[in-house]
Amino acid sequence: MSLFVPFTRATKLLQPFFEETLKNLPQVSFMVSDGFLWWTSESAAKFKIPRLVFYDMNSYSAAVSISVFKLFTEPETKSDTEPVTVPDFPWIRVNKSDFDHGTTDPKESGAAFELSMDQIMSSNTSHGFLVNSFYELESTFVDYNKPKSWCVGPLCLTDPPKTLGGNNNGNGRVKPGFFPELRRTKSLPASKNSEGFSGVFEPQRRSWDL
């Protein structure tokens, strides 16, 4: 994890190439990008494409983190182990040690805190979230998070891996099961010609009413 911040920051070097690709695509309805790639929101705004943020976490973790963020960055909360009540969810108690100091202590974190802030600001200006969960499991937390979240999970419920070519002894290339399952959901139609997750969807295919 020591290389997480410099590695994530380095991904911004891909932005010119990403935007060149966007420039050569037909008009698209929206784009989906990973929450860690904060700079994609800049590209989305530049091309006037609504951006949806994807995190492979559930809504609970995001909601609790948002609710306690201000509390943990206040000088009064000094202890790392003293339990505190989550302001918007009083039945939940956490402490600072449950979270990465890079997001709770700006004086100690520096680059990690700045990266976290960039990602949060980027997410807050997006058009919504795609969440690896289902609404009935954590509706309270799905409704709490803003902008709006759409549940597309659980993505772990996929078909058994299919072998492309080879024989029944397991020789051959294994067809990915994760993203084809994502493509089969009614809320995320993508190109029939794509074997993987394209990230930018074709405009003629309907999705949500954004």
* pLDDT > 50? residue 185: no
Count structural domains, the chain.
1
**Strand 128-131, strand 89-94: pairing:** unpaired
Burial 53-67 (b: 16+ CB within 10 A, else e): bbbeebbbebbbbbb
Q: What is the pLDDT of residue 48?
A: 92
**In terms of residue numbers, what domain contains 149?**
4-154
In a domain, 194, yes or no: no
* pLDDT > 80? residue 163: no
In a domain, 118, yes or no: yes
Q: What is the pTM assigned to this prediction?
A: 0.64
Average pLDDT, the chain: 74
Amino acid at 161: P
Residue range 10-39: mean pLDDT, rounded: 92
Residue range 2-23: mean pLDDT, rounded: 93
Residue range 141-156: mean pLDDT, rounded: 86
Residue range 59-73: mean pLDDT, rounded: 80
In a domain, 179, yes or no: no
In a domain, 189, yes or no: no
Residue range 10-19: mean pLDDT, rounded: 95
* pLDDT > 90? residue 19: yes
In a domain, 78, yes or no: yes
If one compares 148 and 77, the residue with the highest pLDDT of the two is 148
In a domain, 9, yes or no: yes
Query: What is the domain-level CATH number for residue 130?
Result: 3.40.50.2000
In a domain, 123, yes or no: yes
pLDDT digits (tens, 9 = 90+) for 72-128: 666 556 667 888 888 889 999 888 777 766 555 656 568 888 888 888 889 888 999
In a domain, 207, yes or no: no
